[in-house]
Amino acid sequence: MVGNVYLIKDLARLSGHTVYTLKYYLNIGLIKEVGRSPETSFRYFDDTTIERLKKIREMRRENKSIAEIKEILTTPAA
């Protein structure tokens, strides 16, 4: 059973981030698409992306920089 699948506009609505911000996060590697439509090239995302965006938002509220957040999220847990 596959979980929920979202387009970037759905992700924006559910996460409270703008599409522009989500595209920026994609561009710098903070979030990743889980798939892409071969016909339309639409990016697909899932619930793990929603959870990641929640973590990013929490860290931004703690005044962490994008660079710090990327470091935290890309460093494997010890």
Per-residue pLDDT of the chain (78 residues; tens, 9 = 90+): 357 899 999 999 999 999 999 999 999 999 999 999 999 999 999 999 999 999 999 999 999 999 999 999 888 765
Residue 3: phi and psi, rounded to 5, are: -75, -165
At residue 16, the 3 state secondary structure works out as: coil
**pTM given for the model:** 0.86
Domains annotated on the chain, with CATH = 5-62 (1.10.1660.10)
What burial class does residue 16 get, using C-beta atoms within 10 Å of its C-beta: 0-12 exposed, 13-18 middle, 19+ buried? exposed
